[in-house]
Structure 1
């Protein structure tokens, strides 16, 4: 039985369908969750919350990275680069995906 985690709790696939929620196709989910994971594991020379320097390691399927780059979400740089840069559009999309999947964003410890 599939269980879905949403912001308000856990729901089975049957309960989710009853609430009018549609399943995300696997190919779309891989791309969405890859962007969300890149966002959550981003780094910079300065700190995690740098506005200008949002990078993530390239440890994801290259086909997915290529699609995200074509959509203007990331820049892979050269083929030798070990990390990608997440554009502002990618950051905004990733934040929306965290909401969609009920994942809490990082909080600043200032």
Structure 2
């Protein structure tokens, strides 16, 4: 297996962790299927994922982020790539 560049791996692994640690806000939002995660990751990586429209950080004061449908699809592709089971 070829080695993955460390910056790419960090971005991909962060996206997978965001997805795997997501939660829903059923009481606060209309769509119970919307997925959110805490922002406890490298800010440069989060900004790149936001630029790619995989997540939306909203206000920089917010402690959580929204996982877009594109982000959910990408995370599932990465789970396959790294052979990680989904919930």
TM-score norm. by structure 1 comes to 0.72
Runs of 4+, deviation exceeding 2 Å: none
RMSD of equivalent CA atoms: 0.9
Q: What are the ranges of 5 or more consecutive residues in structure 1 without an aligned counterpart?
A: 1-20
Q: Which has the larger radius of gyration?
A: 1
Aligned-pair CA distance for 1:105: 0.3
Structure 1 position 26 matched with structure 2 position 10: no
2:23 aligned with 1:43, yes or no? yes
2:82 — aligned with what? 101
In structure 2, what is the equivalent of residue 18 of structure 1? Answer: none
Q: Can you list the C-alpha shifts for 1:51-101, whole angstroms capped at 9, x where unaligned?
A: 3x2100000000000000001111000011001100000000000000000
Measured in 2, the distance between the counterparts of 1:74 and 1:94 equals 11
| Cα deviation, residue 45, structure 1 | 1.9
Residues 19-62 of structure 1: CA distance to partner in whole angstroms, max 9, x if unpaired? xx32111100000000000000000123xxx43x2100000000
- 1:66 maps to 47
From 78, 86, 94, the counterpart of 2:67: 86
